[in-house]
Structures are given as structure tokens and as C-alpha cells.
Amino acid sequence: MFKGDLKLRQFMRIFVVTVASVIAGALLMLAAYSLPTERIFNNVSDSRHMFGGNILYNWAEWGGTDELGIGWLDVYTDSLMLNTAVFRPYGSVLENAMKNPHLEIEDVYMPDNLLKVLAGDKYLPESIYNYSRYWHGYLIFLLPGLEILGYGQLKILLFSIEMLLFVAVILELSKYGRSLSFAFTLSALVMSPISMGLSFNLAPVYVVTLVNMLIILRHYRTMTASRRYVLWALNGIAVAYFDLYTYPVVALCFPLVAMCIVLEWPSLKLRLFHMAECTFSWLFGYVGMWAGKWIICELLTDDNTIQDGISRVLYRAGTQTDFGEVGDTSFGAVLKVVFGIACDRSMLIVIFLMLFVMTAGVIRLYRKRASGIEARKAPDDVSGFAADSGSGFATGVVSGPADGRNAILSTIKSNLRPNSIYLMIAAIPFIYYLLVRNHTAVHPPMEYREIAITFFALSVWLIKITGCNLADGQD
């Protein structure tokens, strides 16, 4: 049934890990909802000034302006998350933990709904919105955090943790080549790390991505096949548990690129099989964790979570929209909006810098190899003849530059096939956008971050095929 190393025993291990994660996830949610709410409520209430006013959220509302594109902070969903943290309409801890309700009064903006909860305003039963199709796993950190700190303080802590993980990944990547760490840095900038550090909703996928990249870069070579597949399953499980469906494919593809960098198998076939197995493991964990929440909530409460979950999946994967979210969900329109955010004025500078560095690396490699060839061909008695110390070329030998160019072309030709795996990873965001057009069209300030996958994979591909990758400690 499975190619390569992913045998039935490994599959059963992934299945057991997924089931155990569903049970552990439910128990952690029960523990989080069992915490006393007085300090949580007070700390959120002290931050209520951060949610006043008409905070734009929907892409259709702001029209894709530069001011609300790549630097956008998702205050709307942050207020929903805090709303979920403090709103407890049910008397049972189990019912609150499984249904994850929040107050959502019709025609009232989400930040204003939070303010109404904090003010203790009365509400009708129909204003209780059960958001049970998501795990809301962020609450196992948010609720204990709010026992001690306020909303603003937690954002500073979150941003600090993300920066430490980001630096750790860069340092690990530099061991495989300084050019690779630079490519990752520029690709991460496309995702706007500041926005991800200051928005609770945008942080989970980024944190899971960085943690998994760090594990892969440090330990993947020494892992057994079973542990590798469990790692990928846990990656998907963590995204399903903590994320409110923002840009999940980043958590799959950035680690996939890191995996290809670490293994560097010469056979494209081996790379493809292993990538397929890892992707399957990730998807099994991701889908299994989602399904686990729907099943466990349906069994323990009176909520019709399975039907609701399936209907929302079909809706988000379709091309129809409701309540005037957006008008055009065609593939072309989706790509136009996504690239409009990813390539705004500030990001064009980053992209230009990325291309400049890649070009400079190729030129530097060409000159270095051409110079080396000339030095080998130059007669000893004229070794100093007409040498151009600035350019690195010995002008006394005419065939050197041509040989250098041929060496570069030969390097590129030999590296094209085994490294085409990066091109396949670079194409994944476009496949995803085609399949999930509704969600991408409605939430482009979240979903545009998948384009960073393409930037990262293409950058690594260029580095690998040209050979212009400086290992740590090299000149």
C-alpha cells in the first residue's frame, strides 16, 4: 500500500499517536477550562482599550489597501479568541471545553462583542455561537497565561519566543550553508514576522513551523524511519490543534524544504517517495486530529459538530461565498489578491534583494571557478603575466573564462534533476489555492503567507543547482 519505508507498522504507530493526541487534547482543554476565571477576566478587561473602535477585518471591507495588507494585525480574531477564553455560558466545564462558545450578536463587530462580554451585558441564547469544529488548542497556553499577564504582555512574550526560535533556525541552517540561512530569512520576511508575533491568531502555524524545522535540522539524519513519520504526524496534529485555519500549508512545506536540505539524497526517486510518505503522515495527523474533535464533541455533547464541520469544509473548498465576503473567487482573482499582498512595495524590496544576492552568488562562483581553471592552465614562467587581481581572472589565458562558464553550466546540468524536488514544493501553494479558493479569497491577509513557500523553495533550488552555497566557516 505504501512506498518506501512507510510500512503497516509505521502506519499503525501514526494512528495510535493520532488517537492518543485526540484524547490528550481533550483532557488538556478540560484542564484549561477548569482554571479559575476571575484573574483571567480581570486581565482581559484591563486590555479592553486595545479593542475599541471600528477595526477593519474583512478584505472586502478594506479593499486591499497598502496600509492593511502585509502589516495587518488580526485584532478581530484575537478578540474572538479572548471572547472564547472568558465567555462561559454553560454550567458544565465539559460543555464549555468541547463547544468553545463565544458571544456573537448579529450585526455587532467581534471586538465589540468582546467588550459586551467584559461589561457583563445581557444577551439572548441565539447569540451564543458554538465554535466546536475547531480545537482551540491555543487556550491551553492562553488561559494559564491570562492568569498572570495581560493581553499586551502576552503578545510581547509570544514575539520574544518566536524571535528566539527564528534565530535558532537560522543558526542551524547556516551549518548547511550561509546562503540557505539567508534565503530562509528573506522568505520569512515575506510572511511578516512582526505581524505573526503580535497576533495570537497568526502565531500558531509559525511557531509549529519553526519548532519542526529546528528538530529536522538538528536531529533528522539520526532519526529512525518510524520516528520521522511520527514527527510529521505530530506536526499536522499540532497545526490542527492550535490553529484556527490560517495558513496551514506553511507548516508542511517549510519543514519539507528543510528535510530535503538535510538528507540530500542523489536520487530524485528516493526524495519523491520520502516526501510523499512525510506528506501522507502530516495529512493523516492533521485530518485525524480535526476529525477527532468532531467525533469526541458529538459523543460528549448535544452539538451537531460532524455535520457542521463537513459543511464548512465543503464551503471553504468551493467557490461560493456568503454574507457578502467577496465577489470573485476565480483562481486568477485569488492569485491576483495573494500576490498583491505578498508583492506590495515593502516586499518588492525584499524580493529584489533576494534576486540580487542569488545573482551575485552565481557571478562570484563563476569568477572563482574561472580563476581556478586559469591558474591550473597558466604556464609557470608567465604565471604573473597581466593578472587582474581585482577581477580574479588571469588575462594571459584566453580559454579560462570559457572553461569557467562551461564548469558552471556543467554544475547546473548535473544538479537539475535531483534538485527538482524543490520546484515541486514551490508549486504546492498554487495547488492549495486552487483547491481552497473560498478561504483564500475571503482571508488573503492570512493565506498569502503560503507564497513564502514558493520563494523559499525556489531560492534553495537556485542555490543548489548553481552550487553557490557557502558552508559555515567557508570563505
Contacts with 291 (C-beta within 8 Å, 6 or more apart), sequence order: none
Segment 34-38 mean pLDDT: 94
| Least confident window among 145-159, 261-275, 459-473 | 459-473
In terms of Cβ atoms closer than 10 Å to its own Cβ (0-12, 13-18, 19+), residue 155 is buried
Segment 2-29 mean pLDDT: 85
Give domain limits for the chain.
8-144
Give pLDDT tens digits for 154-168: 999 999 999 999 999
Query: Which of 179, 233, 149 has the alpha carbon at shortest distance from 468?
Result: 179
| Least confident window among 147-151, 160-164, 313-317, 378-382 | 378-382
| Least confident window among 51-65, 118-132, 303-317, 327-341 | 51-65
Query: Which of 471, 475, 261, 462 has the alpha carbon at shortest distance from 359?
Result: 462
Rounded to whole angstroms, the Cα distance separating 32 from 29 reads 5
Q: What is the mean pLDDT of the chain?
A: 81
Segment 202-229 mean pLDDT: 94
Give pLDDT tens digits for 255-306: 999 999 998 777 888 889 999 999 999 999 999 999 999 999 999 998 889 9
Contact 362, 466 (CB under 8 A): yes
Rounded to whole angstroms, the Cα distance separating 437 from 130 reads 25
**pTM of structure:** 0.84
Give pLDDT tens digits for 390-432: 333 334 444 455 555 566 666 667 677 778 899 999 999 999 9
Residue 192 has pLDDT above 60, yes or no: yes
C-alpha cell at 131: 465554535
Segment 352-370 mean pLDDT: 65
Segment 443-468 mean pLDDT: 87
Residue 309 has pLDDT above 80, yes or no: yes
Rounded to whole angstroms, the Cα distance separating 326 from 219 reads 44
φ, ψ for residue 261, nearest 5 deg: -65, -40
Q: How far is CA 70 from CA 74, 158, 189, in A?
A: 11, 19, 10
Give pLDDT tens digits for 76-111: 889 999 999 999 999 899 999 999 999 999 888 888
